[in-house]
Amino acid sequence: MSFGAAHLLGIETLSPEDIVTLLDLADTHAESNRAGHPPRDVLAGLTQINMFFENSTRTQASFELAGKRLGADVMNMAMARSSVAKGETLIDTALTLNAMRPDLLVVRHHASGAVDLLAQKVQDCAVLNAGDGRHEHPTQALLDALTIRRARGRLHRLSIAICGDIAHSRVARSNLLLLGKMGNRLRLIGPPTLLPPGIADMGCEVFHDMNEGLAGVDVVMMLRLQKERMDGGFIPSEREYFHLYGLDAAKLAHAKPDAIVMHPGPMNRGVEIDGTIADDINRSVIQTQVEMGVAVRMAAMELLAANLRARRVEGDSRVGRAATEVRDA
């Protein structure tokens, strides 16, 4: 096992070996989940706190389920309407948490880099980034990778299109990093107002025409278009967006015949994806993504908890050695 990190803050710092280790373990959890006997002792005795400064029912539920399946004591803190609203800073929140002594901390925050900042300030605790601003959402990229690997049998030398609002998407950034590290060809498709600056320098091809962009791809990843972007500021209207960039059968016909369709959810049917495509069990793996989400989060927490315990044992023995040295002196 090669995974040695203390926290899971982003894909950027993971090596391809780390990614494979995580996915292999997640694969076994996916199987045990299906069989109905997940290993309930893996996180037994550990406390997991989910801190969501930004509301997200789905991701929070997935982390909660993952923790509970492995036997952790899970607690949800709805930060969006708590002390933060009373003006508490992130640093003070971290200090408060240190006093509560959680083992696993799952954090979502609306500011890029905020989870990183929190991770620097908490002690003796593994932090998992559940999405920070427009920066990263590593477990989403991992679950997407696992879904692709299971559907296509490999996670390299695939042609993968990411379509939609890439500018505001942390999911897109983490996926770009992960799929790039694993050696895939990446295509970004969207209107120029929804593509982030400098993206062409990151080794992907950019398309504004969806039919061209989808030509011959193995995987089509759709992104959610936030309601607040549809007001004429970024795109003129929902219907024009669907006409140009909504995934329907005609556009999908340009991809490989066995190309899979993905979406991180929640979907806007009729805006970025046609309902019949989303429901087509031969093409859509959207439900598998949700299932793999739990498995990947179980794997991430298991590996981080193992590293945490190892650090604690080392810390104890260091304390012990110091005591011995003091006694012998």
Partner 1 sequence: MRDTIIIGATLIDPEDGARSGHLIIRDGHIYDIVTDPVPDPEARFRALEQVDGRGLCLAPGIVDWGVQVGEPGARHKESLRSAGQAAAAGGVTTIVTRPDTDPVIDTPEILEFHARRAQADCVVRVHPMAALTKGRAGREMTEIAFLRDAGAVAFSDGLRVVENTRVYARALTYARSMGALVVAHVQEPSLSSGAVATHGAFATLRGLPSVHPLAERIGLDRDLALAEMTGVRLHIDQITTARALPRLERARAAGLDVTAGVSVHHLTLNEFDVGDWRTFFKLTPPLRSEDDRMAMVQAVADGTIDVICSMHTPQDEESKRLPFEQAASGAVGLETLLPAALRLVHGGHLTLSQLFRALSLNPARRLGLEGGRLQAGAPADLVLFDPDAPFVLDRETLRSKSRNTPFDGARMEGRVRGTWVAGRRVFGGADA
Q: Residues interacting with partner 1, by CB under 8 A?
A: 12, 89-91, 109, 111-114, 116-117, 132-136, 170, 173, 196-199, 201-202
**HSE, side-chain direction, 13 A CA sphere, residue 274:** 14
Lateral strand order in the sheet of 185-189: 205-207, 185-189, 159-163, 219-222, 260-262
Closest distance of CB 84 from partner 1, Å = 12
Query: Which of 43, 171 has the CB closer to partner 1?
Result: 171
Closest distance of CB 121 from partner 1, Å = 9
For 241-301, give the DSSP string. HHHHH-B-HHHHTTS-TT-EEE--S---BTTTB-HHHHT-TTTB-HHHHHHHHHHHHHHHH
User: Torsion-angle region of residue 71: left (phi > 0), alpha (psi -120 to 50) or beta?
Assistant: left
Closest distance of CB 279 from partner 1, Å = 32
Query: Which of 120, 324 has the CB closer to partner 1?
Result: 120
Closest distance of CB 110 from partner 1, Å = 9
Distance CA 84, CA 3 (A): 33
Query: Which of 71, 113 has the CB closer to partner 1?
Result: 113
Query: Which of 32, 112 has the CB closer to partner 1?
Result: 112
Closest distance of CB 198 from partner 1, Å = 3
Query: Which of 198, 232 has the CB closer to partner 1?
Result: 198
**Residue 44, exposed/middle/buried by CB under 10 A (0-12, 13-18, 19+)?**
exposed
Query: Which of 39, 133 has the CB closer to partner 1?
Result: 133
Work out whether strand 104-109 and strand 159-163 pair parallel, antiparallel, or are unpaired.
unpaired
Query: Which of 46, 90 has the CB closer to partner 1?
Result: 90
Closest distance of CB 213 from partner 1, Å = 19
**DSSP 8-state secondary structure symbol assigned to residue 186:** E
The answer to whether the beta carbons of residues 242 and 270 sit under 8 Å apart is: yes
Q: C-alpha angle 11/13/16, rounded to 5°? A: 70
Closest distance of CB 199 from partner 1, Å = 6
